[in-house]
Every structure is written in C-alpha cells, then in structure tokens.
Chains A and B, each alone.
Chain A
Amino acid sequence: MPSSNLKISGLSKRYGDFVALAPTDLDVAQGEFLTLLGPSGSGKTTLLSLIAGLAQPDQGQMLINDVDVTYVAPYERDIGVVFQNYALFPHMTVEENIAFPLKMRNIAPEQARKQAQEALELVRLPQLGKRFPKELSGGQQQRIALARCMVYRPSIILMDEPLGALDKKLRDHMQLEIKRIHRELGTTIVYVTHDQEEAMTMSDRICLMNGGRIEQLGTPAELYFNPRTLFVADFLGESNLFEATVSSVGPDTIGVMLDQGRVPAKTAADGRPLSVGQKVRVMVRPQNLQLSRTPSQDMPGLSATVIDVMITGSLTKLYLNAGFAGETPITVALPTSRQADAWRVGDTLSLHWQAADAVAIAE
C-alpha cells in the first residue's frame, strides 16, 4: 500500500468575495500522476499555487510526507514547479539554470555541474548546457524547465499547463517524454491542464474541478464511463444527454422513460441512489449508440433523421434530429467504413443502446 505523499484536508482560499477554492480534501499517493483538470476559473491553478506555497490558504491543512507544510515557505517545502511559461532565468545559461536549485542547497559547484549534466542527459539535451534560454526552441525550453525541476529530486513535482504553448505535434511528443521521465524517476506529479485529452492520456487519476470545488476524482476510465454529474459527462469526451424519468430500479439496471418520444430504455445501475419518478439525464457516448433501419421488437429505439454525415478520419460522425423543439442534435460515431458511408442525409433511423453503455445522472 503506497503511503500518502500529499494529504490535503479542508484547504480553502478566497480572493475578496470570490471563492477561488472551496474547502477541499485530496490525497495523492507516492509516485502517482494526478491531473487537476477543469475550465479556467475552476480553482485548479489556485490549488496548485497553494500546494507550491506561492499562495497562502485561508483554512485547512496540508501534509507532505506526513509533515505539516500548510504555512511553510516554498523554499522549504521539497516541491518542484514547472511553470506555464517555463520561467527559465534569462540571464543564466542552461547549465546555470539547472544548477541554481543545487546552489541554493549549498551543493559544491563540481558536484552541482555533474548533476546538472545528468539532468540534461535525462531530458536528452546533453549538449545545450552553455546556451542561453532564449537561444532554445519552445520544446527545448520545456525540457530544460523539467530538468531544472528534476535535478534536486523533490518529492512532488507540480506542473502548471506545461505544454500549453507548444503546437499539437510537439505536445503529443512531450506528453510521452514526461510519462517516460515519470516512470524513470517515480516522482509524484501533480499536473494542471484544461485539455481533457491530455489529462486522459497521462494521468493515473484525474481530479476534475469546477467552480472552485472537486466535481469528481477517479481514474480516467471511471470519469469517462461513470460520470457522477452532468458537468463531468459533458466536460470529458463527447456525450449525448437525453432527458428521462426513472421508471424502475433494479439491482443491475435502471429502467427509464425518455421524455422525447416516451421511449422505454435501460441504463446501468452502478449503485446510484435513484428512485422511481425521479428526473434524470441519460448519457450515452456517441460510439455506443447503435443504428438500425427498423426498430427491433426487443429493443425499441428512438427514431431520428440524419441531418449531417462527416468523415473525421478513423471515425464517421452522424448528426441526427429526433424532431423535438429546441433539441441539440444527437451525435453517433461509427468506425469509418463503406458500410458507414452508406448513411445518407434524410434517412430515418432507429437508435438504441446496451444498458451497460448508458448511465442515468440525477439532475
């Protein structure tokens, strides 16, 4: 059982009347890669600043390796931060930048130089030590910022949207690099991003935040398949949300009646505390919707008309209209194939799904 590396209880922060962070609890295990995900203003950067010691909490407590660090200065915390703009010191060479934290820890210059070189090798830029930061590309600066942070082996590394300034291809590459370094060093990483794809790719667990509080905390799969709130369902990946009323509650499945068209359907139970007659939203991912030309007897479906077909690469997306006022189009994703290409705008189809692929979320 890995011990808890970072333990936060009841931590909160206000700026005047604005609640930047409501009282929050969070445990991060030794060696875990945890992502704070959320839209801007959701409190993820505030939480990161509090962990780094760059802001002071109003209330609550924070332990790093069982030591209370709630009000400890950043330079005594044993943490490392990779800043959004890298924050490399422009007046120092790459080597001096990396040796800086070692110098601050009174490590002998010779030893510091050796360790800096090792860190440069870790990020695979061993020959750049004598350059100045502004002589490097964005991706290289990013790696140097990582090296400067790794070199003194802090027990937790915080990363504040470190890949935000890079283009897509480089970003994908750096995601793998960060994962590799994380594996090699086994350091705990707390990572902030607003990019849900990045969060899903990299994290052991995702802490999805909204409005200064945690919406849901879990593995990427848990958040994706089993969102607890509408916000989570909507924020993470594409989803179709149908308004419905609970008609029966069983041990494995929950029966619902879709408001649109009074169609009966089933969703996974997942131990959700729902009762008959309750208003819910039924979430089905686009790739889990099935299409047929005619409604089948045992699986009655929602009838809808195709309004648009798009090939987006490996997936073909169909947008359908069920014919109700004010509805958002239903999205269906199919693997691109000649079969999928056969659907035409104007076709009227029947939509259905497996109970296990749907969840009912209380409104």
Chain B
Amino acid sequence: MVSIANPSSRAARRTTFRNVLLGAPLVVLLLSLLVYPVAQLLLLSVQKGGEFSMASYVQLFSSSVYLNVLLITLKIAFWTTLFAVIAGYPVAYLISSWPQQKKGGLLFWVLLSFWSSFLVRAFAWIVLLGRNGVVNQLLVALGIVDAPITMLYTFGSTMVGMVHALMPLAILTMLSVMENIDRSLPRAALTLGARPGSAFWRVYFPLSMPGVAAASIMVFVTSIGFFIFPALLGGRRETMIAQIIIVQVEQTLNWGFAGAISVFLLIVVGAVFAVYDRVLGLSSITGTVADDRGPRARNRWAVAFSEGVLNVLAKTSDWLASLLPKRRRSRREPGQSRGLLMIVLTILAFLSLPTVLMIPLSFAGSSGLNWPPRGFSLQWYQQVLESPLWMQALTRSLIVGIGSGLLAMFIGTPAAFLLVRAKMRGKSLMLAFVLSPIIVPRMIIAVGMFYMFSRVGLAGTTLGLTLGHTVIAVPYVVMTMMAVLRNYDTRLDLAAQSLGARPTQVLRHVTFPILIAGLLSSFLFAFATSFDELTISLFASGGLNATLPKQFWDEVNLQISPVIAAVSTCLFVFVAVLIWTADRLRRRSAAQ
C-alpha cells in the first residue's frame, strides 16, 4: 500500500517507515476488530458442527419469511430515503444560502436532532403517537376525529420515526455539497434572462445533485441496518433484517444462521453501492463537488431525460410564480422568499418538537404519560438518581465514551495525517477501508465482535465495549481531522523549521496549538458516537453491566414510564451542552 518512487534512497525509506507508523494502528485495529470477526461470522454461516454445510442458507431460502423481511427492509429504507432527502433539501438549501453569522441558529436545531439519541427520539414518538398522546389529543380537539385513532405500531409510525431519525444526516450531507456551490451562478442565470424557477432547476439543482445522491445512499444504507425504530414503533409487519439477526443471537444462539443473514445483508448493501458507483461514482460520497464528473456522466439518454424533466419543472415553477400577484416595490433581495422560510421552520419543528415535548412530561405528577401532563413533581428524576441500574449505566457509558473517544482520537489522527499529507499509492483504497465501519451494517459488526469477544472473555467487559466503540467511532475522527488538516497551511510548519524548530518542536509549538480545537471536536464526535451506541452494547452487556442506551432499551421494552422521559430530558440537555461547547471550540479555532 505504501510505496515510494525511489526506495533505494535513505530518505525515502525513512518516509515509508513514518507512513507505516502513522497508518499501522488504525489498520491493526480494523483488521483485528472488524475484518477478522466479520470474516469469522461469514465462515460460521457455511459450517455446521465444524463441517462445511450450506444448511443455514437452505434454511434462509426455504421459506418466504426471510425474503419478505428483506423486501420490507428495502421498502422501508426506500421510503425513508425519499422522504428524508426531499424534506431535508429545502432545509439544507436555506441554511447554505444564509449569511455566515445567521446560519448557526438554524444549524443548531439540525445538529441537536442529529446528535440526540435515536432511543430518545423513538421513545418521544411512542409517547406522541399513543392513544392519549399529543397528536391524538390535538386531532380530537380540532374535531378531525371523534375518538383517538391507532397510529402506533403501524407502517406510518415506523416511517415517521425513521424519517425523523435520518433526516438530519440527509441535511448535513447535502449541506456539505451546497456550501461549495458558487452563489453567483444562480444570480448570473437571472441576469442572463432566467426566471427564478429556471435559475433554480437548470443551474442550482443540477449542481446540488451530488449532495442529493450522497445523502440518498447514506440514508438508504443506514436505514437498511436499523432495528430501533421498527422494533419500538412498528408492528409485526414492519420487521427488518437486523431484528431477525438479534433474535437469532439472543434467543436461539444460532451463529450459523445469524452469519447467513449477515452475508445476505452484506450482499444487499454491496449491491446498492455497486449500483450507486455505476451511476454516479463513489467519490461523490466524500462530498467532492459536482463539476468533476464532466463528460463521464454524459450518457445521451440520461441527459435527454433529465433535460426534459428539469425543463418541465422549470417551466412549471415559472408559470406558478407568474400567477402570484406582482409586488412592484419588493424590498426583499431575490432568493429570500418567506414561503421557503415557513416550510423550513415547519420541518425544523418536526425535527425538534418531539424531544422538546419530553421535558414537560418528565415533570408530570402522574404516571400515565398523558398529554397535557397533570401536576408537577421531581419524583421521576429522583427515581433515576436512586436507581443503581441507571447510575451504573451512566458511569459505564461515561467511562466507555471517554475511553473510546481518546483511543479513536489517538489512532485516527495519525491516519488522517497520513491520508492528507503523504504522497502514496492506494490512498483512496485506504480511505474506503477507514470508512468501512460506517458502510458495513453495524449489526453485522456487533454480532461478529460478540462472537469473538465471548471466546476470549471480553464480552460484556468495559475493555471489550471500549474497543468495539473505538472501531465505530474512528471513521468520524479520521473524517473530522482530515477536514481540519486540509485547511491547515503547511507553510506554517516550514516557517517554524526555517526559524530553527526541530520536527518535534514544530509539532509542540505550532501544529498542535493550531489543531487543538479540531482534536477536541473529533474527540467529542467519537465520545458522542459511543455514548449513543446501542448495537454493540446490545449483545455485549446486560444487567448491571449495561451502558446507558442498553439500559434505556431494556427499560423501554419493559414499560413506558415518565422515568424514561426524565432520562431523555437529561440526555437532551447533555447533548445541547455538547453541541454548544463544540460550536464554541469551532468559533475559537476559526477566530485564530
């Protein structure tokens, strides 16, 4: 992987040695805790009693049950992707078009939702959509329905939860592309005679397509591996593949069959990526901008088709705009329509309100979780504080979070240096390898790790969990640090060297002081990932050894009580403080 033009020279050998040193920790981590366990799981799928056997696959395809689950999984993932991307687009568009100082306000709500625990959000929807929940109360009060209707445990409630869960991811992915679109292009289109509709559909929209594509595949692949939302918000008919794997591991301990389903799931994800790569090219995922597709994507039929569609969209929106009454003395600058702002605020309310509504419920005097809450008490918080289960889970999560955050930071940062600075072949391959913990469905990693850990006595231990979470968190550290390093002016290092600083002194006095904010935010990123991680903790810990998400999960499956609302509120406030801190850090580093 590491190769240098002239290996005979001594300097070149030293560079090679340094590159290996930078990349090795990460490669070792991923090989031992990702590749090995997953490969072992795949091997298990073709064994029975130590011998080669296709029994698991025979079982998988002998009834239509599992194929049906696959179809349901794909269906849910498809609709989730569609809704999350379409509803997320205007939000990303508006945020990217706002001036830098005002952006923060809108972005905060997206980030808050992005970082809020999936469990907290799923629980919020259980309460909201229940028979006596806010939505039913509202519908009855408005006279739309006579009696509360059943919304929970249906396809609809699953979709609402999934879209709610993944829209922030879609928004942030699209935003990273939209931020790089030159704003003078749609303005230029206006001066060239394009009406606003045409300027948007013919110029801005095609340029934002890579963002839409990247967001689509991220949301699609993530939702294929989901189990929290279908399990908590869906009914029997919304069972997804990941849930089947859980059942195999937790109830029947049938490793071979769990492995077979994992292979099945991996093939599906692989196929999705292959199709994506054929149509759009994988490089667009990392957020590189549209224009370098160039002539490559110019399939004649595809071009003619998209031309036609865009033309219709452009003409239609221009025509609709011409129907609106014309204001002669419009004071607003072009492109700042009030209608768009209203739509975006509605979507942001959809993202934020469910978790915010937990707050009053956590102070309720009664235990029914009904809306509106009656009375006021701190009893639920008291119960949490007095419960050894919750307190131990919190301690464990903090220890594991800080441990894996630090570990991921120390392993990921050198790799980011390597990927940004070093000149070597196979860089994109290395990047793909680094990102694999995000791409491989987490359920498969979790099952493989659990099998491996239980054989070496690491299952359920703090060390095991920390290692597992490090694997999951390290891609985020690498991506954050790569972004930071790309903005770092390496001439500063050269300047320091020319002023007489040795390499270690350069690191200590120049490089690290400048990068410290980036390092801290990558640590926070890793910590937050671990703090909210459920899949790996699901198998690896239980009872008094549970992490916070695991304890939450067990509790929600047991009973829905205001105690959980109290925990949700605490988590919500904790995340809000984290984001605020991270934002301050970013500003401080930007001010430098």
* Residues of A near any B CB (own CB < 8 A): 52-56, 71, 73-75, 77, 79-81, 83-85, 87, 89-91, 100-101, 104-105, 132-135, 148-149, 152
Contacts and interface: CB of A to CB of B under 8 A. Distances in A.
A-B pairs with the 7 shortest C-beta distances?
A90-B291, A87-B188, A101-B192, A104-B193, A81-B191, A74-B190, A87-B184
A104 B200 CA distance: 13
B190 A132 contact: no
B291 A79 contact: no
A87 B190 contact: no
A51 B203 CA distance: 23
B192 A80 contact: yes
Given A83-B184, A83-B188, A71 B329 contact: yes
Contacts, number: 88
Given A87-B188, A90-B207, A132-B294, A105 B332 contact: no
A73 B334 contact: yes
A75 B190 contact: yes
Nearest to A130: B295
B437 to A, nearest CB: 33
B194 A132 contact: no
Given A74-B191, A87-B184, A90-B290, 10 more contacts: A56-B330, A75-B195, A80-B192, A83-B184, A85-B182, A85-B184, A91-B293, A104-B194, A132-B291, A152-B192
A77 B199 CA distance: 16
Main secondary structure of the interface of A (DSSP, over half): loop
A101 to B, nearest CB: 4
B331 interface: yes
A135 B182 CA distance: 18
Main secondary structure of the interface of B (DSSP, over half): helix
Contacts of A148: 192
B195 A87 contact: no
Nearest to A149: B192
Contacts of A79: 191
B291 A91 contact: yes
Contacts of A87: 182, 184-185, 187-188
Contact of A75 (B193, B290, B291, B294): B193
Nearest to B331: A56
B332 A52 contact: no
Contact of A54 (B182, B185, B187, B196): B187
A91 B292 CA distance: 9
Interface in B188-227: 188-196, 198-199, 202-203, 206-207
B193 A105 contact: yes
A74 B187 CA distance: 9
A58 to B, nearest CB: 8
Interface in B277-293: 290-293
A24 B523 CA distance: 55
A71 B328 contact: yes
Given A56-B332, A56-B333, A104-B194, A91 B187 contact: no
Nearest to A158: B191
Interface in B313-362: 328-334
B188 A81 contact: yes
A10 to B, nearest CB: 15
Given A85-B184, A90-B291, A54 B331 contact: no
B192 A100 contact: yes
Interface of B: 182, 184-185, 187-196, 198-199, 202-203, 206-207, 290-295, 328-334
14 contacts: A54-B333, A75-B192, A77-B191, A80-B192, A81-B188, A85-B184, A87-B184, A100-B189, A100-B194, A101-B192, A104-B192, A104-B195, A132-B291, A152-B192
Contacts of A101: 192-194
Nearest to A78: B193
A168 B226 CA distance: 59
Nearest to B314: A104
B16 to A, nearest CB: 34
Contacts of A74: 187, 190-191, 334
Contact of A91 (B188, B290, B332, B333): B290
A80 B193 CA distance: 9
Contacts of A104: 189, 192-195, 198
Nearest to B198: A104
B193 A54 contact: no
Given A75-B191, A75-B194, A89 B185 contact: yes
A121 B148 CA distance: 72
A56 B198 CA distance: 21
A310 B480 CA distance: 53
A89 B310 CA distance: 16
A185 to B, nearest CB: 17
Contacts of B196: 73
Given A91-B290, A104-B193, A104-B194, A71 B188 contact: no
Contacts of A55: 333
A5 to B, nearest CB: 17
Nearest to B194: A104
Contacts of B290: 90-91
A75 B322 CA distance: 13
Contacts of B292: 134
A154 B332 CA distance: 25
A119 to B, nearest CB: 13
Contacts of B331: 56
B190 A54 contact: yes
Contacts of A152: 192-193
A56 B333 CA distance: 6
A134 B290 CA distance: 12
A103 B290 CA distance: 23
A79 B193 CA distance: 9
Contacts of A105: 193
Contacts of B291: 90-91, 132-134
Contacts of B192: 75, 80, 100-101, 104, 148-149, 152
B47 to A, nearest CB: 52
B182 A71 contact: no
A89 B292 CA distance: 12
A190 to B, nearest CB: 13
Contacts of B293: 91
Contacts of B184: 83-85, 87
Contacts of B187: 54, 74, 83, 87
Contacts of A81: 188, 191
A90 B207 CA distance: 8
A79 B333 CA distance: 18
A87 B202 CA distance: 14
A133 B202 CA distance: 16
Contacts of B207: 89-91
A22 B267 CA distance: 66
Contact of B295 (A52, A54, A132): A132
B206 A52 contact: no
Q: Which of B330, B332, B334 has the most CB of A within 10 A?
A: B334
Contacts of A52: 191
A62 to B, nearest CB: 13
B330 A71 contact: yes
A84 B122 CA distance: 50
Nearest to B195: A75
Nearest to B190: A74
Given A101-B192, A105-B193, A148-B192, A54 B328 contact: no
Contact of B203 (A54, A85, A89, A149): A89
A60 to B, nearest CB: 12
A304 B331 CA distance: 59
Contacts of B185: 87, 89-90
Contacts of B199: 75
A89 B190 CA distance: 13
Contact of B190 (A56, A73, A135): A73
A89 B194 CA distance: 13
Nearest to B185: A87
Nearest to B327: A71
A101 B190 CA distance: 9
Contacts of A77: 191
